[in-house]
Amino acid sequence: MTPATRALRHLPFRRNLRDRRFQALAAALVLTLAALFAGPLPLTRSGVAVLAVVDITGSMNVRDYTLDGKPTSRLEIAKAALRRMVAELPCGSRVALALFTERRPFLLFTPIEVCADFAPLDGALAGIDWRMAWEGDSRVAAGLHRAIQMAGELDTDLLFVTDGQETPPLPSTGLPPFDGKPGAVRGLIAGAGAYGLSPIPKYNDRGREAGFYGETDVQQENRFGPPPADAESREGYNPRNAPFGASAAKGTEHLSSVREPHLKALAAQTGLAYAHLDGPDGLAPAFTAAATPRPLPGRIDPRPLLGGLALALALAAFLAGLLPARFLQTTRM
C-alpha cells in the first residue's frame, strides 16, 4: 500500500461531504457544467404585425411640436416616432407602410421584419415627404375606413398617424358610415399636433414654402349635401337659391390643431384605440397596448441564470471563511 492510497483511505469523506462549502462548490460546478452544455430554450414571445399609415396632407406640415428647441412639423415628429417604434419592437415583428392623402392609403410595401430588414425600413420611414402626396384633399374618415380594410387584407393591425383635419370639412351629416365590422381590425389612431390652433404653411408649385393659408384660401364649410339644421336662421337664407345662407362661411379651417373629438369619434366608430402623439417617444408601448399580440418563436438563454447561481455559490464558499466554524458543518445525521 503506497502512502498516497493509505492517506486516501483515511480521509474523512463523510465529514467532507457534509461540509457546506463542499456542497456549495459542488453545486456551483454542476451549475457551471449545465451552463456549458445547455442550449437556448424555446419560448413564445409576443410581437406585433402592423400596417403603419402616415398622413402626409398639408396640415401635417404645421410646426407645432418642439424638438431639440426647434419648431418641428407634425410629419417630422410622426416619422421620428415611427422610427423609434420600429427600433423598439421585438424582433420578428413586421411592419408595412402606407401613405395617406386624398381619401385612401397607398401601400408602399407589404409587412417586413423589423430586425433583419431594419435598414431599408428605417430608410423608407426617413424618406417620407409631404411631396409624395398625389392630391390635396384630406378625407381622414374615408382614408381610415380604407386603411382598416387594407390592414384586414394584410392580416395586420393598424397604426394611423394623423391630425384629423378634414379637407374639405365634413358635411353637416357627420361621419360617413363605416361598412366594416368595428373591432375586427385592432389598432391605434395616433393624434398628431398640439391642442392650440396654428397656421398651416403653404407651398408653391416648386415645393418651396410661401407663407400660410388664409381664411379665404380654404373651404370653411362643406356645402355638398343637405344644409345644416340651423341654416334657416342664417342671414339671407333661401331654400332654393341660398340653402346655406347668403354670406360666405367663416371659420378656422385654415388653422390647425389636433382634432381630438373627431379622432375619438372615429376610434369609437371603428373599434380602434386613440392616443395623442406627445412627441417622438412612447409610440411603441401605446401601440403594443392596443394591438393584438402575435406569438413569435423566441429563445431564452438559460446560461446567465445558471452562471449567476454558480457565482453566488462559489463566492459564498470563499466568504464563508468569515463565519464561525459551527455554521459550516451540517449536523450529524
Partner 1 sequence: MGAPFGSFGVATPWLLWLLPLALLPLLRSATRRTAISAVSAAPADPLSAAIGAVLTVSGILALAGLIVALAGPYRAGEHVTRTGIGAQVSMLIDRSGSMNETFAGRQPSGEEESKAAASRRILGAFVGERAHDQFAVTAFSTAPMLVVPMTDRRDAVRAAISAIDRPGLDYTNVARGLGMALSQFGPAAPGVSRALLLVSDGAAVIDPRIQAQLRAEFAKVRPNLYWLFLRTKGSPSIHDKPAGEDTPQAAPERHLDLFFKSLGVPYRAFEAEGAEAVAGAVRQIEALERDPIPYTEIRPRRDLTGYAYAAAAFGLLVLVLAKLAEADFLRQGPHASTERAAPVARHETPRSDAA
Question: Which residues of the shown chain bind partner 1 in the complex (CB under 8 A)?
Answer: 3-4, 6-8, 10-13, 15-17, 19, 21-22, 25-26, 28-29, 32-33, 35-36, 96, 99, 104, 106-113, 116-117, 119-121, 123-124, 127-129, 131-135, 303-304, 307-308, 310-311, 314-315, 317-322, 325, 328
Q: Find the shortest distance in angstroms from Cβ 234 to partner 1.
A: 37
Pick the closest to residue 74 from 187, 228, 238, 198 (CA basis).
Answer: 198
Sequence letter at residue 229: A
CA angle 203, 209, 213 (to 5 degrees): 55
Residue in the structure block whose three cell numbers are 373627431: 262
* Burial track 142-164 (b if 16+ CB lie within 10 A, e otherwise): bbbbbbbbbbbebebbbbbbbbb
How far separated are the first and last CA of the chain, in Å rounded? 32
Strands 273-276, 187-191: pairing kind: parallel
Q: What are phi and psi of 128, to 5 degrees?
A: -65, 135
* Nearer residue to partner 1 within complex by CB, 99 or 255: 99
Q: Which is nearer to partner 1, 40 or 214 (CB)?
A: 40
Sheet with 273-276, edge to edge strand ranges: 104-113, 94-101, 49-55, 157-162, 187-191, 273-276
For partner 1, the closer of residues 116 and 248 by Cβ is: 116
- Cβ closer to partner 1: 19 or 215? 19
Indicate the SS3 state at residue 320. Answer: helix
CB of 161 to partner 1, least distance (A): 17
Q: Cα dist. 290→54, 113, 123, 162, 274 in Å?
A: 18, 20, 26, 17, 9
Q: Which is nearer to partner 1, 35 or 60 (CB)?
A: 35
Least distance in angstroms from the C-beta of 57 to partner 1 = 13
Beta bridge partners of 167: 138
Q: How far is the CB of 3 from partner 1 (least distance, A)?
A: 8
From the CB of 287, what's the least distance to partner 1, in Å?
20
Which residue, 300 or 311, has its beta carbon nearer to partner 1?
311
User: Shortest distance, CB of residue 331 to partner 1, whole angstroms?
Assistant: 16
**Which residues does residue 298 pair with via DSSP β-bridges, in sequence order?**
43
CB of 295 to partner 1, least distance (A): 20
**Smallest gap from residue 164 Cβ to partner 1 (A):** 23
Nearer to partner 1, 43 or 311 (CB): 311
Residue 267: CA atoms inside 13 Å, Cβ hemisphere, count? 22
Comparison of 132 and 246: residue with beta carbon closer to partner 1: 132
Q: How far is CA 314 from the centre of its chain?
A: 44
How far is the C-alpha of 57 from the C-alpha of 76, rounded, in Å?
A: 13
